[in-house]
Each structure stands twice: as structure tokens, then as C-alpha cells.
Amino acid sequence: MLGCDIEVVIGDSEGLPEKATAIMEKLIAQDGVAAVGGGYHSSVGVASKDVADARGVPVVFAETRNDTITGDKQKYIFRIAPLSSWASATIWQFALTVPDVKKVAILTENTDYGIPASQETARGLKTGDVESVTFSVDIGTQDYAGIVQRIKAENPDMIITLVTGEAAYNFTQQAADAGIGPLDLPFVTGQDALESGAYWQNVPDGQYAFVQRIGVPETEFTEKGRVFAAKYKERMGKSDVEGYAMEAYDSIAVIARAIEEAGSTDGDAIVAALEAIDHDGTLGRIYFPYGTKKDPSEDGKGDEWWHQWPDPALTMIQYRGRGPALDLGGDRLPGRLQDRRAGLRQPVTRC
């Protein structure tokens, strides 16, 4: 970019807020980065954003969903992940469409993502007269035996999992082994279940599993999305591409585009370019309608819309049974899948 070679510096927060702050300090003070992209856990975004904003270094967060990350209206902070309130609404609105669900058990992590997400989900379920009970665990929990037994005692009609990464997958496996998993009742699991080969090996006959993915099904990918997915699956040896991988890629790509258009690595110049960006990403057309030039309140939007990409797609997918790959529009999908669209694209609902 700008006639210079690009050096990518990677910092691993391990999902820990205290480490995220130190990593952001290092990236800026020691490594001298021009901007920062990526980020998975909301707690990491909440903890590190103030450091970047105070130092005038632009950040495009990839998968950090907590509404307050952009809700503080900081000049240098942007996000392409959906707001937590949007993602939660998709799940609880979907749950209200499932027949005979009167009581839901919610498993959440005790983080800046899990706590507000579980609260939003519980409030939404209540609007449909559906009772809910929430169980909270620390991030990285591996053994869910005690939680599973407590959930069984509640005799729920549905389980919603709001923990991130491998933890959600571990809980799904252990719940299935205990007779209260997606083999037995509707069960919203984590994005790790998109890796369907491993899913079916560990959760046989789990036909009641539902997964929320960021982005549309692969049959509806953009051209960039299809190219990225093919390369990603080949390199990673996976049968699917997770939404958070596409978000991470797009967050870096949009920064690179902004630097090129700004003709500078100055933080203020990058912010101005990001606010005017119109980027064709793997997840769709990325732009930021609200910021220093136009406050969200001018259109009756809340502060959380500040520097927020307004069009992330949210798709609910149901596994209906293990079987040979289906040919859907030229794409080969392992297992039989059915899209269950509940608020597919926020803030606009599309069926």
C-alpha cells in the first residue's frame, strides 16, 4: 500500500480483557501499527477500544458484538459484526416460531457478550409468553456435567447456547450424551457446529440442532465470498467457512482500502476514508452511514449505530439429518440443511 510493503502484526488476547488492553498497548506503542482489525470476544473489544481511541489509532472490530463498543461514539472505533441486540433478536424471534416451546433454558458465558445477550434473549422470549431460565458459566469452561443436570431438572422445551467458540461445541456434546441435546429437543448451538463433519461424528442423529451463522448460506455468497470460502476450506481442511473468519478478513481488507483511499496512514485520514468507504467484501457491501459527518440520532437511531455496518446478515440453519451432500445451486454441502430465516438481515427482515 502507498508504495510500501505491508507488515502484519498479530496479537493474541486469549479472550482475556486484561490481556487485550496490554496487547493493544503493545501493537500501538511498540509495533507502531497504523490501524487494528480483527477481534473476536466482546470483552476484548470493550477493554481495548479506549486504548486505541485515546491514541488515535483506528480499529475495525470483526466479531465483537457488545452494543457499547460503538455505542460510546468514539472517533476511531468501527465494527462490521452485528450488534449483540440484533443477534439476540434473531435467536429469540426464531425460538418463538418453534411449535410447543413454552420454556427455554439459556446457557450463557459470564462476559460482555454473554450477559447482555442472555438478558436480551430472555426479554424477547417473554414477549411471546415463553418462560426462560438462564445458567451462566465462565469463559473457557470445559466440564458442563453439573450445568447439564441442572438444565435437565428444569425440563425445558428448548435450549439456547450463548457461549463462544469450542465451549459451545463441548456443551452440545455433553448435553447430547446426557439425553437433553439436539437429539431430543430443539437446541441452538454455536457456530462450531457449522463444521458438520465433526458435528455429526460427535452428535449423531442431532436433527434438532439450529445454528446461527453470520452471513448468508454459501449458495448466496458474493463473488468475493465464494473465492474466499474455497481458499479457506482448502487451507484449513474444513467443510464450511465460519462467519467470524469472513468478518476478520473483511475487517483487514476494509482498513487496507481506507489507507489507499486516504493516501496516508494518519489516523484522522483513515477515519475519514472509513466513514466514506464503499467496499465489496466477502460478506457484502460494507459501509458506515453514521459517524462524525452524520449522527445516528438524525435518523432516529441509537448511539450503537455509530461507525456500525448496518447490513450484517444473520441466518438460522437447521440440521435435519445426516446424509450425502446435496447439490444446491452448484455448491456441495455436507449433510442435509434447511435454512430457517428469522430476521435474516438486520435491521431489515428478509425471507
Helices marked H in the chain — which ranges?
17-25, 42-55, 68-71, 84-95, 114-127, 145-154, 166-177, 196-202, 223-236, 243-262, 267-275
Q: Could you tell me if 23 and 170 lie in one domain?
A: no
Global pTM reads 0.83
Kindly state whether residue 233 falls inside one of the protein's structural domains: no
Q: What is the pLDDT of residues 89-124, one digit of tens each?
A: 999 999 999 999 999 999 999 988 889 999 999 999
Residues 132 and 148 in one domain: yes
Same domain, 159 and 41: no
Residue written as cell 469472513?
Answer: 246
Asked, for residue 182, whether it belongs to a domain, the answer is yes
**Is 321 a residue whose pLDDT tops 80?**
no
Does residue 134 form part of some domain?
yes
In this structure, the answer to whether residues 157 and 248 fall within a common structural domain is no
Counting the structural domains of the chain, the total is: 2
Domain CATH for 34: 3.40.50.2300
Statement to judge: residues 201 and 100 lie in one domain: yes
* Whether 197 and 153 share a structural domain: yes
Q: Cell 450503537 maps to which residue?
A: 304
Q: Answer whether residue 250 shows pLDDT above 80.
A: yes
Same domain, 137 and 149: yes
Q: Provide mean pLDDT across the span 199-224.
A: 81
Q: What is the domain range of residue 24? A: 17-81+242-305
CA-based nearest residue to 347, from 122, 85, 134 = 85
336 shares a domain with 191: yes
Mean pLDDT value of segment 176-201: 80
Q: Do residues 168 and 276 share a domain?
A: no
